Amino acid sequence: MSLFLVLDILGTIAFATSGALTAMHKKLDIFGIFIIGFVTAIGGGTLRDVLTGSTPVIWMEQTFYIYTIGVTVLLAIFFRRYLNRLRKSLFLFDTIGLGVFTITGVETGVQNGLDPIVSIALGAMTGTFGGVIRDTLCNEIPVIFRKEIYATACIIGALAYVILYNVGVNRDFLYIATSLTVITIRLIVVRYHISLPSFYVSNGNEEE
Amino acid sequence: MSLFLVLDILGTIAFATSGALTAMHKKLDIFGIFIIGFVTAIGGGTLRDVLTGSTPVIWMEQTFYIYTIGVTVLLAIFFRRYLNRLRKSLFLFDTIGLGVFTITGVETGVQNGLDPIVSIALGAMTGTFGGVIRDTLCNEIPVIFRKEIYATACIIGALAYVILYNVGVNRDFLYIATSLTVITIRLIVVRYHISLPSFYVSNGNEEE
Amino acid sequence: MSLFLVLDILGTIAFATSGALTAMHKKLDIFGIFIIGFVTAIGGGTLRDVLTGSTPVIWMEQTFYIYTIGVTVLLAIFFRRYLNRLRKSLFLFDTIGLGVFTITGVETGVQNGLDPIVSIALGAMTGTFGGVIRDTLCNEIPVIFRKEIYATACIIGALAYVILYNVGVNRDFLYIATSLTVITIRLIVVRYHISLPSFYVSNGNEEE
């Protein structure tokens, strides 16, 4: 089993768990919990495949994703109280998922000969879109727009991938360096409560 | 006209009506009513086609869907008070739509040689996604995540389809058996107020 | 540089600005502002390409869209107070965008040999969908369903395109006539506060 596949499975498990926990918190029924777990884990990759025209999308051809997510959500339901207390340790899994899915996105772009900036955008979308769908379905403004440096970590990681790829490094090193870039940024950001600036303006309705 | 086409048109009409009623309840303007009627009726099939790469999507090639939905929404607006009182009888149409669209999804999967569990997922997504888009656009948590056994009926119906298909039954029987499975489950569930369990956990924010 | 490209760039700039202003009003961080600016500008065209199977989608192949949007959002952030006061003049840009994106949608349909009603629907979706995604991600009912004649202007513009195309007019005239149709309708509608009727019915929950 390759390093990449190990990371990919870890990422899938982490995202499925994060989706299931959000759904339980929102008091969804068991079907809703499975669906939100599924879209959180698979949403980014599905968007990547649809936008690049790689259909049927990946989880239709590689069914181990479905089984992995199914088992993960079941376990998340059984151990929900325990997981909820462990949320801080889950953060690491979530970050691994972010790093891995960023890699699959940027790699798809590079292998299709797309422009580097497009590959980076694909990496960031693949890493974050599952969470965007999760929050949209749960009727909240996606957390990545409001909190901490999240997608920015993907963008910098994807940039590292593109640079290293063009330098011509070994593939395993490429994966590890990209993942570590994303993970390190997230750890520093959360440790020191760094957040991006926002630029509020009134909506000007009173002037219309 | 085949049995399947009759059911398909009935399902399209029922879903367009349900979308239009939701939009009127939300006080959307007439354009919003048409759009919500349209996406409710066509959302599931569009997702099915996009994920499997069958593009242009079906309603672009078979325009009778657009005309059917247009006429249905117009009639729904004219007879809105009447329809609103009849909501219980509409329930049967809605359930027919659910059954039929589940069939088109699972059939697409089977005919593309996808894994049975993927075909079942496609069936459930095709049956339910129109309602998910409807509720998301109307700024509500999708009803299928919160209320009654809805998508679960699709999943069991799709499972029946896959089993019967592999047994090798006649196609009309296949359609009728799948539809009846979905419809029967829905009727029993609503009659006896059966719902799926949910597993609430606090979001743990206080511990972060 | 062709007339069409000039209009297309103007439309992209206007939509990116409108997205960025909405995101700033919602207090999103700088990454959220870029994402909402991006999806507002590119959402309609992406949907058009995905539904018709033209993948990789346009902004992946023509990267000037990404750079245009990036620079626009940066400028929108720097000049946010100024832009906010100028919202009425922005309205014209927004309307140009609406007109241009409607053209790219209807043109895609016509060139793929799709039915006229499908081409018109594609035009309206391409013109309006960016705004729908923007509002959905910002957790609001899309403004086009609630306010003024917006998508209707696209539909009438797209209809004009289809008619003139079949009459066989010069392409530049075709673009200008379609744009002017959309723009004129919007100007009249906003000037005279014309809105579409809505048809409220209670949701009938009390009768279920």
Domain ranges of chain B: 3-192
- For position C1, what pLDDT does the model report? 61
Residue C14 in this model has a pLDDT that exceeds 50: yes
DSSP H helical segments within B53-115, as ranges?
A: 58-61, 64-78, 80-85, 87-111
- For position B205, what pLDDT does the model report? 46
B118 CA to chain A: closest CA distance, Å? 6
Among the partner residues A50, A121, A201, nearest to C81 by beta-carbon distance? A201
Average pLDDT, integer, range C150-170 = 88
Q: How many whole angstroms separate alpha carbon B50 and alpha carbon A57? A: 9
Q: How many whole angstroms separate alpha carbon A164 and alpha carbon A162? A: 6
Are A43 and A129 within 8 A, CB to CB? yes
Among chain B, residues having any CB pair with chain A shorter than 8 Å are 50-53, 109, 112, 114-115, 117-118, 121-122, 132, 136, 139-142, 144-146, 149-152, 195-204, 207-208
- For position A186, what pLDDT does the model report? 83
Residue whose C-alpha is closest to residue C202's, from A95, B26, B168, B30: B26
- For position B207, what pLDDT does the model report? 37
Residue B204 in this model has a pLDDT that exceeds 60: no
Helix (H) or strand (E) run with residue A188 in it = helix A171-191
B183 CA to chain A: closest CA distance, Å? 18
Among chain B, residues having any CB pair with chain C shorter than 8 Å are 21, 23-33, 35-36, 46, 50, 53, 55-57, 59-61, 63, 66-67, 77, 80-81, 84-85, 87-88, 136-139
Contacts of B146 in chain C (CB under 8 A): none
* Axis crossing angle, helix B3-25 with helix B30-52, rounded to the nearest 10: 130
Flag if A114 and C56 touch (Cβ within 8 Å): yes
Among the partner residues B28, B50, B87, nearest to C50 by beta-carbon distance? B50
Read off the amino acid at residue A96: I
Flag if A151 and C35 touch (Cβ within 8 Å): yes
Residue B147, phi then psi, degrees to nearest 5: -135, 130
Which residues have C-beta within 8 Å of that of residue A34, sequence separation ≥ 6? A20, A70, A73
Q: Residue C69 is encoded by which pair of tokens?
A: 């949007």
Contacts of C196 in chain B (CB under 8 A): 29-31
- For position B146, what pLDDT does the model report? 55
Could you tell me which chain A residue has the CA closest to the CA of C48? A51
Could you tell me which chain C residue has the CA closest to the CA of B133? C136
Residue A198 pairs in a beta bridge with C29
Would you say the ipTM is above 0.90?
Answer: no
C33 CA to chain A: closest CA distance, Å? 8
Flag if A31 and B149 touch (Cβ within 8 Å): yes
Could you tell me which chain B residue has the CA closest to the CA of A22? B203
Flag if A141 and C26 touch (Cβ within 8 Å): yes
Chain B contact probe: residue of A17, A26, A28 with most B CBs at under 10 A: A28
Residue C149 in this model has a pLDDT that exceeds 70: no
C78 CA to chain A: closest CA distance, Å? 9
Chain A contact probe: residue of C48, C50, C59, C60 with most A CBs at under 10 A: C60
Flag if B137 and C132 touch (Cβ within 8 Å): yes
Could you tell me which chain C residue has the CA closest to the CA of B53? C53
Higher pLDDT, C201 or A3: A3
* B112-169 tens-digit pLDDT: 889 998 999 899 888 888 888 888 777 666 666 555 567 788 888 999 999 999 888 8
* B66-118 tens-digit pLDDT: 999 999 999 999 988 887 776 666 677 677 788 888 998 999 899 888 999 89
Q: How many whole angstroms separate alpha carbon C73 and alpha carbon C93? A: 15
* A21-53 tens-digit pLDDT: 888 888 887 888 888 899 899 998 899 999 998
Contacts of C50 in chain B (CB under 8 A): 50, 55
Flag if B200 and A25 touch (Cβ within 8 Å): yes
Residue whose C-alpha is closest to residue C133's, from B12, A129, A85: A129
Higher pLDDT, C1 or B7: B7
B208 CA to chain A: closest CA distance, Å? 7
Tell me how far CA of residue C87 lies from CA of A61, A203, C4, C96, C133, in angstroms.
48, 10, 25, 14, 21
Residue B149, phi then psi, degrees to nearest 5: -90, 105
Q: 3-class secondary structure for chain C?
A: CCHHHHHHHHHHHHHHHHHHHHHHHCCCEHHHHHHHHHHHHHHHHHHHHHHHCCCCCHHHHCCHHHHHHHHHHHHHHHCHHHHHHCHHHHHHHHHHHHHHHHHHHHHHHHHCCCCHHHHHHHHHHHHHHHHHHHHHHCCCCCHHHCCCCCHHHHHHHHHHHHHHHHHCCCHHHHHHHHHHHHHHHHHHHHHCCCCCCECCCCCCHHHC
Residue B29 pairs in a beta bridge with C198
Residue C70 in this model has a pLDDT that exceeds 90: yes
Q: Residue B78 is encoded by which pair of tokens?
A: 């004219």
Identify the three-state secondary structure at position B198: strand
Q: Return the percentage of chain B with pLDDT > 90, whole number.
A: 19
